[in-house]
Amino acid sequence: MSTTTGDLRPATTVNWRTPLVIIICGCVIGLLSFGPRSSLGFFVQPMSREFAWGRDVFGFALALQNLLWGLGQPIAGAIADRFGVFRVMAVGALLYAGGLLLMRYSSTPLSLDIGAGVLIGFGLSGSPSISCCPLSASCCRRSSAVSRSAPARRPDHSASSCSRHSAWQ
């Protein structure tokens, strides 16, 4: 059997790093990292009944979580700039999982504060959803549909000017 030059064509590779794939993957990662956090309210009544805690114990743990999430974001961003996004995402996911595990086995308010407050708060700082936003923005910077949208180009189409023209009142 003989081969011709037409048979020796290079194999075409499919580029999966398109802006659409990166945005979809970032959305999936965001859903996975914020899913457990959004369901924490379901545990208030069962934990309050079992341990005779008031809403203040659970509320303090979640307030601590939100504060540490905000405080840890600049630190996680600086570490991501220095060592890479993947390492920050991995450590954030481990802290998040450790916080959920400690929250599962917490029997005192202090262990709930450490698990649901400190570990999940710092885990959210380096969680994949926070790290994927700038990563997807930098990968999609060349896309005209993403980077050249009307609010980015024209300041008169900002959210405040859109609310002036809408009849929501």
Q: Is residue 21 part of a domain?
A: no
pLDDT mean across residues, the chain: 76
Q: Is residue 119 part of a domain?
A: yes
For position 107, what pLDDT does the model report? Answer: 92
Band the pLDDT of 79: cuts 50, 70, 90: very high
Q: Is residue 71 part of a domain?
A: yes
Question: What is the average pLDDT across 47-58?
Answer: 89
Q: Is residue 167 part of a domain?
A: no
Q: How far apart are CA 39 and CA 55, in angstroms?
A: 16
Q: How far apart are CA 118 and CA 98, in angstroms?
A: 10
For position 3, what pLDDT does the model report? Answer: 60
For position 122, what pLDDT does the model report? Answer: 93
- Among 11-25, 101-115, 143-157, the range of highest mean pLDDT: 101-115
Q: How far apart are CA 26 and CA 18, in angstroms?
A: 12
Q: How far apart are CA 123 and CA 109, in angstroms?
A: 20
Q: Is residue 75 part of a domain?
A: yes
Band the pLDDT of 108: cuts 50, 70, 90: very high
Q: Is residue 10 part of a domain?
A: no
Question: What is the average pLDDT across 16-35?
Answer: 79
Residue 83 has pLDDT above 80, yes or no: yes
Q: What tens digit of pLDDT does each residue of 130-140 get?
A: 556 665 566 65
CA geometry: angle 86, 87, 89, nearest 5 deg: 65
Q: Is residue 169 part of a domain?
A: no
Question: What is the average pLDDT across 46-74?
Answer: 91
Quote the domain boundaries for residue 71: 53-139
Q: Are 85 and 135 in contact (CB under 8 A)?
A: yes
Q: Is residue 80 part of a domain?
A: yes
Report how many domains make up the chain.
1
pTM (predicted TM-score): 0.66
- Of 58-62, 116-120, 128-132, least confident by mean pLDDT is 128-132
